[in-house]
Amino acid sequence: MDRTNVLLLVGATSDIGHAVALRYARAGWRILLTARDPASAARNGDDIAARTGASVEILRLDITDTGGFDAFVSGLTPLPDTVVCAVGELGDQGLAQSDAGHAANVIAVNFTGPALLLGRLAEAFERRGTGTLVGISSVAGDRGRGSNYVYGSAKAGFTAFLSGLRNRLARSGVHVLTVKPGFVRTRMTRDMRLPPVLTAEPQEVADAIFMAAQERRTNVLYVRRIWQLVMAVIGAIPEPMFLRLRL
């Protein structure tokens, strides 16, 4: 390697994002982090720099400000080798049902923002002819359920976007990886009782992403493979029966 590889990690305050950036920094990569408020990402940025000695820079980026994406992408010098988009917000399903503003924000943070940003980066990667785009989506997008369909549909949209992008770029030298982590022990899930078999630590997610992104053979990554089975079962339930379930 004659030049240090560069990772752009979108969503630096997320626990998964922090673990992913740390994993790349350990492998000797230079790290660019983004956060809406760079000061709030300093805790994670300092940690990565101190542990690994890597160069870490924090850039300001509001994932809902789609109008600013062109300027952001053209300001990236050099263009990163790999981008991992780890932004996401669970939101409150109950609130999203009654408050369109909240629902719109959940959709913007989980779908329109990440999709459009990766779309802009994909253009630049395609021109260059190399690069890896990683989108952290969710198994929640595999089938809409009453308990979280606003978040779930946004993730479904993101999953479909990544799938289409991958299809389009298949012969361009740009790899697109969709990640469906399943349950992860993070701040997002702090008050939940999670079944241990289905629950990964952020570091486990980060290791899996790094490996899959470097090998460039995996297209859709379920961090714990059991999730693929779980979601296949849920997906196979006929709609009339599905309607009787509270999921």
Partner 1 sequence: MLKPSLIPARLVSGRASVRGAPGIAIEGGMRIETVPQSARVSPLAGWGRYPRIASEILSVHAPDEAAAGIAGREGVIARGLGRAYGDAAIGACGTLIMTRLDRVRSFDPATGRIEVEAGVSLDRILRDFVPRGFFPPVVPGTRFVTVGGMIASDVHGKNHHCDGGFGAHVETLTLMLPDGSHRTCSRERDAALFFATIGGMGLTGPILGAAFHLRPIETGWITRRTRVATDLAAVLAGLDATADSTYSVAWIDCLALGKDLGRGLIFRGEHASRTELTRSDRHRDPFPEARTGRLGIPFDCAAPTLNRMTVKAFNALYYRRGAKNADGPALVPWHNYFFPLDGLSNWNRLYGARGFLQHQCVVPPANASSVLAEILGRVARLGSASPLAVLKQLGPSEGMMSFPVPGYTLALDLPATPSAFTLLDEIDRVVVATGGRLYLAKDARQSRTTFEAGYPNLAAFQALRRDLGAERSTASHLSTRLGL
Binding site for partner 1 (CB under 8 A): 43-44, 46-47, 50-53, 90, 93, 138-140, 143, 145, 147-148, 151, 181-183, 187-195, 198, 227, 230-231, 233-234, 246-247
Return the number of the residue (161 or 222) whose C-beta is nearest partner 1. 222
Please name which of 219, 168, 173, 225 lies closest in space to residue 200, comparing C-alpha atoms.
225
CB 133 to partner 1: min, Å: 22
Return the number of the residue (169 or 230) whose C-beta is nearest partner 1. 230
Return the number of the residue (110 or 132) whose C-beta is nearest partner 1. 110
Residues with Cβ within 8 Å of 9's Cβ and at least 6 positions away in sequence, in order, are: 17, 20, 21, 24, 31, 32, 33, 34, 83, 84, 86
Element (H, E) at 9: strand 6-10
Return the number of the residue (171 or 193) whose C-beta is nearest partner 1. 193
Element (H, E) at 174: strand 174-180
Catalytic residue among 24, 149, 151, 222: 151
Query: 135 in helix, strand or coil?
Result: strand
Beta bridge partners of 178: 135, 220
Residue 120 φ/ψ, nearest 5 degrees: -65, -45
Return the number of the residue (160 or 237) whose C-beta is nearest partner 1. 237
> Are residues 15 and 186 in contact, defined by beta-carbon separation less than 8 angstroms?
yes
CB 184 to partner 1: min, Å: 9
Residue 194 φ/ψ, nearest 5 degrees: -100, 135
CA neighbours within 13 Å on the CB side: how many for 56? Answer: 27
Question: Is 149 known to be catalytic?
Answer: no
- 47: tokens are 């940690």
Query: 220 in helix, strand or coil?
Result: strand
Residues annotated as catalytic (active site), given as ranges: 151
